[in-house]
Amino acid sequence: METYPPIYIGPALTIAALRNYIIDTALVEDQLVLMHPSDYDELALEYRETYNEHLPAPYMLLSVEIGASEKIWVPPGRVRVVEQNRSPHVTKQDYLSNSSPEEVYRCGYCGNVVDYDGAQLDTGVRQRKIYAIQTNDAVVVTEVHGYCCPQES
Ligand SMILES: [Zn+2]
């Protein structure tokens, strides 16, 4: 988590000032704007008076989160931008745990890759499954009685 120095963005930390700041500096989703808790209370008050609703939590302005600072010191009247690194590189482990495994059915007699009922697969599907086995992707292999070995029973 990277933190930038406190920044002065204008005489008042209003919704309009924050919106302009986000646009001017092209902040993006992974960045969080922190304010002193008393400034955040002021913002909540302005929000309530403007929209007749409570400030949502988390408060997202132009898809950037605005928050009251608790652990990081922000002087009153200033904001600090924090990099959240919310989109880390997706590891293979994450990928595997988030996707269903390739189900492969093999003939129990000759090992041929077949359909779940032992029938012949379309060439493209068969090649994809063979590729999945070769590359050790998440594969669940089940043995079935293949069309290829009708005489075995
Ligand atoms: Zn077979």
Q: Encode 9-77 in three state secondary structure.
A: CCCCCCHHHHHHHHHHCCCCCCEEEEECHHHHHHHHHHHHHHHCCCCCCCEEECCEEEEECCCCCCCCC
Task: Specify the amino acid at residue 86.
Answer: R
Q: How far is the CA of 149 from the centre of ligand 1 (A)?
A: 4
Judging by DSSP bridges, how do beta strands 31-35 and 64-68 pair with one another?
parallel
**What pLDDT score does 112 carry?**
94
Q: How far is the CA of 108 from the centre of ligand 1 (A)?
A: 7
Q: How far is the CA of 123 from the centre of ligand 1 (A)?
A: 16
Q: How far is the CA of 111 from the centre of ligand 1 (A)?
A: 6
Q: Would you say residue 95 has pLDDT above 50?
A: no
Residues in the 5 Å CB sphere of ion ligand 1: 107, 109-110, 112, 146, 148-149
Q: Where are the domains of the chain?
A: 15-83, 93-152
Chain segment 33-75, per-residue pLDDT in tens: 999 999 999 999 999 999 999 999 889 999 899 999 988 889 9
Q: The whole model's pTM is what?
A: 0.54
**What pLDDT score does 70 carry?**
85
Q: How far is the CA of 129 from the centre of ligand 1 (A)?
A: 16
Q: How far is the CA of 133 from the centre of ligand 1 (A)?
A: 17
Q: How far is the CA of 102 from the centre of ligand 1 (A)?
A: 20
**What pLDDT score does 132 carry?**
82
Sheet holding 113-114, edge to edge: 113-114, 102-107, 139-144
